[in-house]
Amino acid sequence: MNLNLRHLEAFAAVAKLGSFTKAARSLHVSQPAFTVQIKQLEEELGVRLLDRNTRSVHLTRIGKELAPVVERLLREIESVVADTQALSAKSTGAVTIAALPSVSATLLPPVISQFHRQYSGITFRLREGAEKRILMLVKSEEADFGIGCVDEADPEIHFEPLFTDWMSAVCAADSKLSRKKSVELKDLVSHPLILTDRESSVRRLVDRAFTSMGYPVTPAQEVTYMATALGMVKAGLGVAILPSSALELKELRSLKARPIHHEQLHRTVGVIQKAHHSLSPASGSFLQELRQACQDRQWTSASL
């Protein structure tokens, strides 16, 4: 079928105005061109839509049935175009991000706040989780992109590094460890350790590092969220090993964090996107803001 939008607009106009002359004028086309559009529409459909003479124009029975359908279709097309233009202008829309909990709690909020000041119509949805959950959400397109770690190459995703996350020992302010500027991994062997669960990239790094030194570790406490680990440190249950990206959490104000010297205790955190998948204008612009924010701030395991 060789219909186009101009054919439908012409028919809707003449059905509403009851005159070829008025309808042509409303669409800013000449009357001969308008007449051709109506003729082409009727020929394509194989039915007569209008009965016309030199004085009047009337809808046929089929024309009367088609007119409200065409009007509704044109309204829907106008609505879609308006919504698309709003998305392009970033005046409305949503950005869904799958991210590590430490990134969601520290890096993302101020960047979202800055972005929202310029584009107040954009809403954000954060989906927090470990590496596997982030990859699943990105691959299924439930998230526009992810912020996390990738252990292995995956042809389904594109990974762009943002920053290096070093591990630190978080201890009570009166702990012997707090008196040191930095600690060795062997210094932690005699302390009860509070570690994240085995689904997390942090835990895999910690296990590998201890194993490389011949000290397979069994945590005294195991948690899912880093905020929980900090709460346990405050309660005197042990020493937590956490990434530098978590060290801005408010709970750390009554604690101390000391960088751990070990070549394996760092991870590369970056943007995870589905391969060959375009971002919306809002998601693309926010990602640019995020890249700049990571360049502007220093992510270190500085003492707190």
pLDDT digits (tens, 9 = 90+) for 67-86: 999 888 888 888 777 666 66
Does the pLDDT value for residue 59 go beyond 70? yes
SS3 213: coil
Q: Are residues 10 and 128 in the same domain?
A: no
Stretch 238-264: mean pLDDT, rounded? 81
Contact assessment for residue 242 and residue 223, using Cβ atoms and an 8 Å cutoff = no
> How far is the C-alpha of 265 from the C-alpha of 204, rounded, in Å?
10
Sign of the dihedral through C-alpha 225, 202, 249, 108:
negative
**Parent domain of 130:** 93-162+267-296
Q: Are residues 250 and 107 in the same domain?
A: no
Domain count, the chain: 3
Q: Are residues 238 and 284 in the same domain?
A: no
Phi, psi (degrees; rounded to nearest 5) at 164? -100, 130
Taking the whole predicted model, whether its pTM rises above 0.75 is answered as no
- Supply the pLDDT for residue 269: 93
> How far is the C-alpha of 155 from the C-alpha of 171, rounded, in Å?
40
CA nearest neighbour of 94 among 112, 76, 118, 121 = 121
With respect to residue 303, please indicate whether it lies within any of the assigned structural domains: no
In CATH, what number is assigned to the domain containing residue 147?
3.40.190.10
Where residue 250 falls among pLDDT bands split at 50, 70, 90? low
Stretch 129-141: mean pLDDT, rounded? 92
Q: How many CB atoms lie within 10 A of CB 133?
A: 17
Q: Are residues 180 and 113 in the same domain?
A: no
Contact assessment for residue 283 and residue 143, using Cβ atoms and an 8 Å cutoff = no
Phi, psi (degrees; rounded to nearest 5) at 248? -100, 0
SS3 73: helix
With respect to residue 123, please indicate whether it lies within any of the assigned structural domains: yes
Q: Are residues 255 and 283 in the same domain?
A: no
With respect to residue 217, please indicate whether it lies within any of the assigned structural domains: yes
Sign of the dihedral through C-alpha 104, 302, 169, 261:
positive
With respect to residue 304, please indicate whether it lies within any of the assigned structural domains: no
In CATH, what number is assigned to the domain containing residue 75?
1.10.10.10
Per-residue CA distances from 271 to 15, 108, 158, 162, 295 (Å): 53, 13, 8, 7, 14
pLDDT digits (tens, 9 = 90+) for 165-195: 899 999 998 888 988 988 998 889 889 999 9
Q: Are residues 186 and 210 in the same domain?
A: yes
Does the pLDDT value for residue 130 go beyond 60? yes
Q: Are residues 249 and 284 in the same domain?
A: no
More confident residue, 278 or 238: 238
Helices (H), the chain: 5-17, 20-26, 31-45, 61-88, 101-106, 108-118, 131-139, 201-212, 226-234, 281-296
- 1: which DSSP letter? -
H/E element holding 96? strand 93-99
Q: Are residues 134 and 281 in the same domain?
A: yes
With respect to residue 302, please indicate whether it lies within any of the assigned structural domains: no
Does the pLDDT value for residue 91 go beyond 70? no
- Supply the pLDDT for residue 87: 54
- Supply the pLDDT for residue 300: 43
CA nearest neighbour of 272 among 152, 167, 165, 166 = 152
State which of 88, 123, 138 marks the end of a domain.
Answer: 88
SS3 255: strand
With respect to residue 250, please indicate whether it lies within any of the assigned structural domains: yes
- 161: which DSSP letter? E
Q: Are residues 238 and 283 in the same domain?
A: no
